Structure 1
Amino acid sequence: MAITAVSGEWLLLACDTKFIAAHFKEDTQPFVFDCSTAKKREENPTVDGTSVGGATESDKILALTVSRSGKLVALTDDSKRLVLFQYEHSWQHVSTRWLVRRGTSLVFSKGEDEVLVADKSGDVYSFSVIQREKEGNLKMGHLSMVLAVTMSTNGNYLITADRDEKIRVSHLRSPYNIQSFCLGHTEFVSSLLVPSGDLHWLLSGSGDGTVKLWEYKTGQNLQSLDLNNLEDSLVPKLESQRNVTVCNITCSPDGCYVAVQCDSISKIQFFLLNQGSEEKKLVPHSRLHLPQCPLAITFDLEGRLWVLMDSCETLLQIYTLEESSWKCEADNTELKRVTEALKPHWQTLSATSRKTSRFEHLHKTTFDNRTVYMEKKQQRLEEQQQKRKIEQENNGKKKKRDVENCKSFVTHMN
């Protein structure tokens, strides 16, 4: 799994165990942090990468988030670390804390004084940014794994999504006070995005292959678009065994364009977000065909889309909107600069791209118990009928023998 983000003039990349920050305006050395060499938890020793409890810890980065100012970055890894970075003239690692369980998603508060971390058990913990050694406080919990967490633009609401298709909108300062539920997905919710502006809108993507637009304060579904049913479907119907999985939704800085990345699909779907429209608010705009499946995508502050590719020759691509279509900037100085900074880490990226889908085990598995029950019931009925038939035949033979014996006895007496 690879994650990309932009912080000012820095392209941030998390892949496998490495966090890399590369400047695309200046020729400076990239900042690299390797979780495999990071501080280990003393009270939880490991032997050959296996913890005392028996679970394998691989140090792979699971989630990453950037604060609104771009000066703070936080990540979680497979060894249950929460690592905090800060930018002041250069990137610095400022703290490492420990989670109760592996983190799945995280987000900074609007004031950037806390980072909220969701984990695989469904709990959300709050960690102080100012008190960097303080342990986390439990804020809220779901009944299933939380897969995505985000914050409203005003910072008042915490929005979480889980494996059981639920999107929950809670008051940040009192998360037990639930504002609304956004219900309608039929598979796990894998991605959440609050676009810029103050319209109380929320975009969500799911394993059911749909992108939905919500008014999150009321839980009203404003629009639902099925990526499988759009013209020139992402995947031919005959080749698709199940719906496509939305793995990433990102928005341009002006909030006008939305890019949707799907798992193991070499196309990116763009939507136009009409914030002033009363009817069609989310309109399909265009579709970008790529030579390989993208590993990650993100917009920069200039509205350009950066695409991380699974190729050593074209590791990165930049796309700019020109005349209502997205054009690739092949000869771009910034692109070359960042590509050269990332190439020494290609082996890590290549290993990341060969991993199986992280969404595969999240899809529902249905069992047709009724059909099995009816088949067994029919089998029992047939066996009972056969048994009664045999009993009737045996009773008939017995009666026939009794009659013959009776006649034989009467004849003998006479």
Structure 2
Amino acid sequence: MTAISVCGEWFVCSSDKKLIAVHTKQAREPFVFDCSTAEKKPKNTEADSQRDGSEETGNDKILALAVSPSGNLAALTDDSKRLVLFRTESSWQHISTRWVVRRCTSLVFTQAEDVLLVADKSGDVYSFSVVDPQKDGELKLGHLSMLLSMTLTPNDKYVITADRDEKIRVSHLKSPYNIQSFCLGHEEFVSVLVIPSVHPQWLLSGSGDETVKLWEYESGRKLQSWDLKALRETPSTETEQEKKKRYAVSRIACSPDGGHVAVQCERLPIVQFFRIDQRAEERLVVCSRVTLSHSPLHMTFDPKGRLWVLLDSREAPLQIYTHAQDCWECDAESSKLNQVVDCLKPHWEALQAGAETESCFQHLYKVNFDNMASYMQKKRQRLEQQKTHWGKKRPAKTTNGASSTKKNKKPKPVSQAAS
């Protein structure tokens, strides 16, 4: 998983097995954490005892990255089930390495930055203490299917989780068995959840059905929905097969002032911008669209409201967009941009390895079966087999109509009459 974030004055990028942090103001050596050379898992840990008994070996690829609200903490989890915690205030420092029960899909810090929540592929959410960085995780809640995204409300009252079965669940953080509401309406898996910073009562969600929805999450009420496929301009030369391709929403980013929303679909070189207007009836308004030179891998806003976009390109792996006069323009001459790009280029192999050539969501789509068509096909096959079988079994007939396999009956002898 390739991801970028801004952590105070640090630009952070995780890709393949490496986390790279570059200072955007000072000419420092970037901080690099390589999971392939990190601490190995000790034997007979508590996490081992909770496993199902199958021995698994991970490939050390980073699966999720999270930055705390203040930017003073960061955490990652990888395919080898490490959970690594960092302090980032003046310089990066490794705090602890702990072990999770199953591979994780999402991480989020509480607003108080005392707890790190970890969602995994089995549908469970664990709570890990930040204050006591050596303490094992505690199970908080569970879903019946894989969790794909998770977020917390700004007051740490609710934890909001989304799974493969199109459900968005709003649970009380202190007592997760108390479910506040469900936000239901997506037709495919829910891949992204974001709460706009200035509108803490709203929730934005993205899905494999190529829609972005706006919710009032406490009541579960849907406020608005946008179909991204309808907004996208498709060329007239597009084939029927290309029209049937599905592009899941892979990233939603909100500006710090809460006024702008950027939406990215997987493998599409487009960023769709929306504007949030709390006073308007249509609260989510289409603003503009930017066409990129290459497919975007990830994007994030910095504290000044600039959008950083990581591209699948060795020549220009990073771009910064600024908002001016109701449109977004590329700032190619930014000194920060050039400094970060120079530090990222030596690690291009890791960035390229982390780029997904195929859809990482493809296996999550629902598969529809036509039961009647399958039944009729099997019935035809069965009738053909029966016809062939009886055709072989039936004996051939002779010219006089008698079966060649039957023995000719001899006439019975006439018994002599009694004298």
Task: Return the TM-score normalized by structure 1.
Answer: 0.88
CA contact (8 A) 1:272 1:282 kept: yes
Q: Check if 1:92 corresponds to 2:130.
A: no
Aligned to 2:180: 179
Q: Point out where structure 2 has 5 or more consecutive residues left out of the alignment.
A: 46-52, 403-408, 413-419
CA contact (8 A) 2:15 2:353 kept: no
1:155-194 correspondence to structure 2 within 5 Å: 155-194=156-195
CA contact (8 A) 1:194 1:203 kept: yes
Cα displacement (A) at 1:352? 1.8
Q: In 2 relative to 1, CA 345–223 (structure 1 residues): closer, same or farther, beyond 3 Å?
A: same
> Cα deviations across residues 270-311 of structure 1 (Å, max 9, x unaligned)?
111112223x11111111111100111111011111111112
Q: Which amino acid aligns with 1:267?
A: I
Cα displacement (A) at 1:237? 6.9
Q: Which stretch of structure 1 is more off in the superposition, 281-290 or 358-367?
A: 358-367
Cα displacement (A) at 1:116? 0.3
CA contact (8 A) 1:227 1:234 kept: no
Cα displacement (A) at 1:233? 4.6
Q: In 2 relative to 1, CA 199–68 (structure 1 residues): closer, same or farther, beyond 3 Å?
A: closer
Q: Check if 1:248 corresponds to 2:255.
A: no
Determine helix, strand or coil for the equivalent of 2:229.
Answer: coil
1:15-414 correspondence to structure 2 within 5 Å: 15-43=15-43, 53-230=54-231, 232-233=233-234, 236=238, 238=240, 239-278=242-281, 280-353=282-355, 355-377=357-379
Q: How far apart, in 1, do the equivalents of 2:167 and 2:173 lie?
A: 18
CA contact (8 A) 2:212 2:227 kept: yes
Q: How far apart, in 1, do the equivalents of 2:93 and 2:133 lie?
A: 13
Q: Which stretch of structure 1 is more off in the superposition, 142-151 or 199-208?
A: 199-208
CA contact (8 A) 2:141 2:177 kept: yes
Q: Which amino acid aligns with 1:255?
A: G
Q: How far apart, in 2, do the equivalents of 1:310 and 1:382 lie?
A: 53
Q: How far apart, in 2, do the equivalents of 1:233 and 1:71 lie?
A: 43
Determine helix, strand or coil for the equivalent of 1:229.
Answer: helix
Aligned to 2:4: 4
Cα displacement (A) at 1:232? 1.7
Q: In 2 relative to 1, CA 384–78 (structure 1 residues): closer, same or farther, beyond 3 Å?
A: closer
Q: In 2 relative to 1, CA 266–139 (structure 1 residues): closer, same or farther, beyond 3 Å?
A: same
Q: Which stretch of structure 1 is more off in the superposition, 311-320 or 121-130?
A: 311-320
> Cα deviations across residues 17-42 of structure 1 (Å, max 9, x unaligned)?
11111111221111111111110112
Q: How far apart, in 1, do the equivalents of 2:91 and 2:200 lie?
A: 35
Determine helix, strand or coil for the equivalent of 1:330.
Answer: coil
Q: Which amino acid aligns with 1:71?
A: N
> Cα deviations across residues 188-225 of structure 1 (Å, max 9, x unaligned)?
11111001124511001111111111110011111111
Q: In 2 relative to 1, CA 267–77 (structure 1 residues): closer, same or farther, beyond 3 Å?
A: same
CA contact (8 A) 1:58 1:79 kept: yes
Q: How far apart, in 1, do the equivalents of 2:348 and 2:88 lie?
A: 25
Q: In 2 relative to 1, CA 43–362 (structure 1 residues): closer, same or farther, beyond 3 Å?
A: same
CA contact (8 A) 1:153 1:198 kept: no
CA contact (8 A) 1:297 1:307 kept: yes
Q: Which amino acid aligns with 2:210?
A: G
> Cα deviations across residues 77-118 of structure 1 (Å, max 9, x unaligned)?
000011000123211010000000001001011111100000
Q: How far apart, in 1, do the equivalents of 2:215 and 2:6 lie?
A: 26
CA contact (8 A) 1:234 1:265 kept: no
Q: How far apart, in 1, do the equivalents of 2:251 and 2:14 lie?
A: 15
Cα displacement (A) at 1:243? 2.5
Q: Which amino acid aligns with 2:184?
A: L
Q: Which stretch of structure 1 is more off in the superposition, 131-140 or 348-357?
A: 348-357
> Cα deviations across residues 100-152 of structure 1 (Å, max 9, x unaligned)?
00010010111111000000100000000001110000000000000000001
Q: In 2 relative to 1, CA 61–3 (structure 1 residues): closer, same or farther, beyond 3 Å?
A: same
Q: Which amino acid aligns with 1:253?
A: P
CA contact (8 A) 1:153 1:197 kept: no
Q: How far apart, in 1, do the equivalents of 2:89 and 2:9 lie?
A: 13
Q: Over aligned residue pairs, what C-alpha RMSD do you find?
A: 3.0
CA contact (8 A) 1:227 1:233 kept: no
Q: How far apart, in 1, do the equivalents of 2:128 and 2:223 lie?
A: 34
Q: Which amino acid aligns with 1:100?
A: V
Q: How far apart, in 2, do the equivalents of 1:370 and 1:303 lie?
A: 54
Q: How far apart, in 2, do the equivalents of 1:40 and 1:355 lie?
A: 29
Q: Which stretch of structure 1 is more off in the superposition, 254-263 or 235-244?
A: 235-244
